[in-house]
Amino acid sequence: MNGIVRFRELDDAPLSDTYKWNDPPAGTIGASVADMDVHLAPPVAAARHDAVDRSSTGYVKSHMRSVADAIAAWHQRRFDQAVDPALVRFAPNVVNGLIQAATVLQPKAPRLIMNTPVYYPFFAVADAVEMQQVRVSMVEHAGRWVLDLDRMDAEAAEGGIILLCNPHNPTGAVPTREELEGVAEIARRHGTPVISDEVHAPLTYPGYRFVPLSEVAPDLAGRHITVTSTSKSFNMPGIKFAWLAPGTPELATAIDRLPEMLTYGTSSFGPAATVAATTQGDQWLDELVGHLTERRDRLGALLAERLPRTNWIAPEATFLAWLDFRAYGLPDEPATVLRAHGVDLSSGTVFGEEGKGHARLNFGCSAATLELMVDRIATALEG
């Protein structure tokens, strides 16, 4: 394909200054940290070069109307999602944004309800805001990973904030409108505030529709904050820029009152890179999702052929595959075994106890890297 998305190959100039490629021993394929092996989208690269050329390296405020306008127009165009640009507030990254959101949404009890296995920094968010981690397991139903609404309801009755991961990492589930209506119903019944981490939304695969919680529950605006970024979808987490979209001016004001120590830290390259991604990045992003769809399908074919005892549900969004290797007699941490064979997957149990016997594989890589990765796993497990 002669497109604009360019994947990196293993023999390209090394990215040894990144966690993904610096951490594992030389020669090991990095498939854990959620960066993709893809070159920056040309408009994002150009914006960053331009910012350097202008020496635009000063401090960034937590709200700039022109940037917020670009962000709001992107939400509208890509997801049919209404975001009021006047309320958008910046953060250095999504996780920091989650901490800001949890700090301003005052729950009846200090409990953070999340759907495990889950992106493990959610546990750290609970610890940072001194809330109890309340873990509700995702359930497998009719070939999909779904939210356990009954258990979420029971937990919300005890108080707390629901921290939703939509789409969900590591299962790749895209909660349906019905599931989100169920979450909204729970929030209404118990007066529960909700935070939605929607950072993987732009990477939703054909055949699925990402539904923002704000679309199904506009009435919850007074206690709902969306936190997101282009960091995952445009592969620029190191640029350090994310945003909160609180539902009401009161919530935005509460965010403005947070200590600067918390809100400070946004990169001076963030606004330009994000405006470039959100205003000029559609073609690149669409093409990327096409490539990732191919990788996901190829991974499915390779698993069936080379690792037939692996259990998985193909993700509905994002470049992460949640693999169950228990049938290989690996009840604890398969990733430890695989690392010895030159491929670095994320350990399953860091995402919660449901992760025993599981590992998370990052397939945001070139076709050739994916083949080699599966070859190494197959050699390790099938001999």
From 55-63, 67-75, 230-238, 327-335, give the range in contact with ligand PLP by CB under 6 A.
230-238
Q: Which of 62, 81, 204, 229 binds ligand PLP (CB under 6 A)?
A: 229
Contact flag: residue 99 with ligand PLP (CB under 6 A): no
Q: Which of 197, 324, 333, 354 binds ligand PLP (CB under 6 A)?
A: 197
Rounded (10°) angle between helices 270-280 and 42-53: 150
**Residue 68 host element (H or E):** helix 65-79
From 52-60, 88-96, 248-256, 293-301, give the range in contact with ligand PLP by CB under 6 A.
88-96
Contact flag: residue 201 with ligand PLP (CB under 6 A): no
Closer residue to ligand PLP (CB): 78 or 168:
168
- DSSP string of 155-209? HHTT--EEEEESS-TTT-----HHHHHHHHHHHHHHT--EEEE-TTGGGBPTT--
Instruction: Provide, rounded to whole angstroms, the least separation between the CB of residue 227 and ligand PLP.
Output: 8
Which residues are within 8 A (CB) of 293 and not within 5 positions of it... i.e. 6 or more apart?
205, 206
- Dihedrals φ, ψ of 274, to 5°? -70, -40
**Exposure pattern of 123-143 as b/e (b: 16+ CB <10 Å)?**
bebbebbebebbbbebeeeee
Instruction: Provide, rounded to whole angstroms, the least separation between the CB of residue 197 and ligand PLP.
Output: 5
Closer residue to ligand PLP (CB): 94 or 323:
94
d(CA 126, CA 98): 10
Q: Which of 40, 41, 165, 244 binds ligand PLP (CB under 6 A)?
A: 165
Contact flag: residue 345 with ligand PLP (CB under 6 A): no
Closer residue to ligand PLP (CB): 190 or 363:
363
Contact flag: residue 213 with ligand PLP (CB under 6 A): no
Which residue has 């981690």 as its token pair?
133
Closer residue to ligand PLP (CB): 169 or 190:
169
Number of residues that bind ligand PLP (CB under 6 A): 14
Contact flag: residue 145 with ligand PLP (CB under 6 A): no
What are the tokens at 337? 């075994």
Could you give the count of Cα atoms lying within 13 Å of 339 in the half-sphere of its Cβ?
Answer: 15
Interacting positions 267-306 with ligand PLP (CB under 6 A):
none
Q: Which of 231, 274, 362, 366 binds ligand PLP (CB under 6 A)?
A: 231
Instruction: Provide, rounded to whole angstroms, the least separation between the CB of residue 298 and ligand PLP.
Output: 22
Contact flag: residue 199 with ligand PLP (CB under 6 A): yes
d(CA 222, CA 338): 47
Closer residue to ligand PLP (CB): 134 or 244:
244
Which residue has 């854990």 as its token pair?
32
d(CA 234, CA 236): 6
Contact flag: residue 169 with ligand PLP (CB under 6 A): yes
Instruction: Provide, rounded to whole angstroms, the least separation between the CB of residue 237 and ligand PLP.
Output: 4
Of 191, 170, 205, 176, the residue nearest 352 (C-alpha):
170
d(CA 318, CA 289): 9
By Cβ distance, which residue is nearest to ligand PLP?
93
Contact flag: residue 94 with ligand PLP (CB under 6 A): yes
Cβ neighbours, 10 Å, residue 371: 15
Contact flag: residue 37 with ligand PLP (CB under 6 A): no
Interface residues with ligand PLP (CB under 6 A) are 34, 93-95, 119, 165, 169, 197, 199, 229, 231-232, 237, 242
